[in-house]
Amino acid sequence: MRLSALFEEFCHFLRVEKEAAPRTIETYRWCFGDYESFVMKQIGGTVLVTHFTAETCRAYQYDLAARALQTSSIRVRLATLGSFGKWAVRRDKLVRNPIDVLTRPRRKARLPRVPRWGTVERVLTQCTDLREKALVALMCYGGLRRAEIVALDMGDVAPGLGLRRVQGKGGVEAAVPLPEVAQRILAEYIASERASAAGTAPLFVSRFRAKGGQMVTGRMKGHRVWKITKAIGARAGVPELHPHAFRHSCGVELLRRSGGNLRAVQEHLRHADIQTTTVYTRLTQSDLQKVISAFDNNNWGENRDSRPSPTALKLWGKNFSNSKLVAPTGFEPVFQLRPRFRHVSPILAWQSGVRSRHI
């Protein structure tokens, strides 16, 4: 039996029984296609089920590493084969999952690059038209993803609330309230450019050239949102800006203004697992400076041994309290303590030698 035919049965299982999103199945197909191409080069013919072995999968893993791919990319492709092998074992198509004997690369946690809220407000002023301003407002105030924005219809806008229906990952729908400033921007855009559109019409449209050469107006695509955001970032002097950065900035700012209410941030960003939301609890540069400012007090106590040595004063310099870290333009580094010190105060953790990471 051809391995591709068995994989099609697996995709049918994902679509019908697991109710996986179309983009998820598309990613699975792409990863399997890369593996199938590798095996075809090795055997020089059709890939059969008998070729799905531990030795072949290990050789494929070594080939991925030789391509200098990122660890996350290698993990995704191996995870696809692992899920496929697990399903095949349960359906008695395979005796053993060949991925189980492999040693997968360790997951490397990456810290998101979070724009400062002042940078977000400055980006809003660099928008050249109401459509750009509405897009940025939905991303920074509503925390919407690119796919969620382009899927919005005119009937999804609820005056006085925000958005009555946002289709998120996996087809999950939820209402998203918006602050008055975002509602005002969205209302101005609709009144100016989409006033005559029907309720089932897309909220954002764009003009593009079809295959025949004629110009067509249709629903905006996700890649168009990316290009618009990069263009705005270039005008604002923040070339690193991308659409998902607004979502991170929304989560961090909402966490600050809500007094650390993780549950509220989870509901607003529509995270299925609150562990995903905890990324925004990491101290930013400004928060860390407020904590460390306790060392700026000149009350060294009566004991002279507690005073800093002349060597330390010379190393620190007279303007130590006025120094600050320098971050990339428009972004701020994010500090993270080790998970086992999650409930330890930042000062105690710093004194105990806990290392932190920043970007």
Closest CA to 186 of 122, 243, 137: 137
**Beta-carbon neighbour count of residue 103 at 10 Å?**
7
With bands split at pLDDT 50, 70 and 90, how would you rate the model's confidence at 288? low
- Taken in order 238, 143, 141, 281, the sign of the CA dihedral is negative
pLDDT at 62 over 70: yes
Q: Binning pLDDT at 50, 70 and 90, where does residue 224 land?
A: very high
Residue 112 has pLDDT above 90, yes or no: no
Task: Report the amino acid identity of residue 221.
Answer: K
pTM higher than 0.85, yes or no?
no
In angstroms, how far is CA 77 from the centroid of its own chain?
A: 19
DSSP H or E stretch at residue 250: helix 243-257
- Specify the pLDDT at position 92: 95
Give the C-alpha separation, 4 to 184, whole Å. 52
Cβ(347)–Cβ(294) under 8 Å?
yes
User: What are 72-84's pLDDT values in tens digits?
Assistant: 999 999 999 999 9
| pLDDT per position as a tens digit, 180-196 | 999 999 999 999 999 99
| H/E stretch holding 114 | strand 114-115
**Distance separating alpha carbons of residues 274 and 283, to the nearest angstrom:** 18
The percent of residues in the chain predicted with pLDDT above 90, rounded, is: 62
Q: What per-residue confidence (pLDDT) applies to 354?
A: 40
Residue 334, beta-bridge partner list: 284
Separation between Cα atoms, residue 136 and residue 289, nearest integer Å: 29
pLDDT bucket at 250, cuts 50 / 70 / 90: very high
Is the pLDDT at 51 greater than 50, yes or no? yes
Q: What is the 3-state secondary structure (H, E, C) of 171-197?
A: HCEEEEECCHHHHHHHHHHHHHHCCCC
CA angle 329, 112, 26 (to 5 degrees): 125
The pair of three-digit structure tokens given for residue 244, joined into one six-digit string? 């998902």
Which of left, alpha, beta for 47 (phi over 0: left; psi -120 to 50: alpha)?
Answer: beta
276: which 2 tokens? 């995903």
**Burial of 315 by CB count in 10 Å (0-12 exposed, 13-18 middle, 19+ buried)?**
exposed
Distance CA 344, CA 338 (A): 10
What is d(CA 41, CA 46) in angstroms, rounded to the nearest whole number?
10
Q: Are 114 and 359 in contact (CB under 8 A)?
A: no
User: Around 97, how many Cα atoms within 13 Å sit in the side-chain half-sphere?
Assistant: 18
CA dist., res. 294 & res. 86, Å (int): 54
pLDDT higher than threshold 90 for residue 203: yes
| Torsion on CA atoms 76, 82, 88, 91, rounded to nearest 10 | -100
What does the alpha-carbon distance between residue 243 and residue 112 come to, in Å, rounded to a whole number?
A: 13
Q: What is the mean pLDDT of residues 4-17?
A: 96
Widest pairwise Cα distance in the chain = 85
Average pLDDT, the chain: 83
What integer pLDDT is reported at residue 326 of this predicted model?
Answer: 45
Q: Quick check: 24 pLDDT over 80?
A: yes
What is the predicted pLDDT for the residue at 259?
A: 84
The pLDDT-based confidence of 345 (bands split at 50, 70, 90) is very low
Whether residue 3 has pLDDT greater than 80:
yes
Kindly report, residue by residue over 302-323, the tens digit of the pLDDT. 444 545 545 444 444 444 344 4
- Rounded average pLDDT over 11-30: 93
- Least confident interval from 225-229, 273-277, 353-357: 353-357
Rounded-to-integer distance, Cα 155 and Cα 165, Å: 9
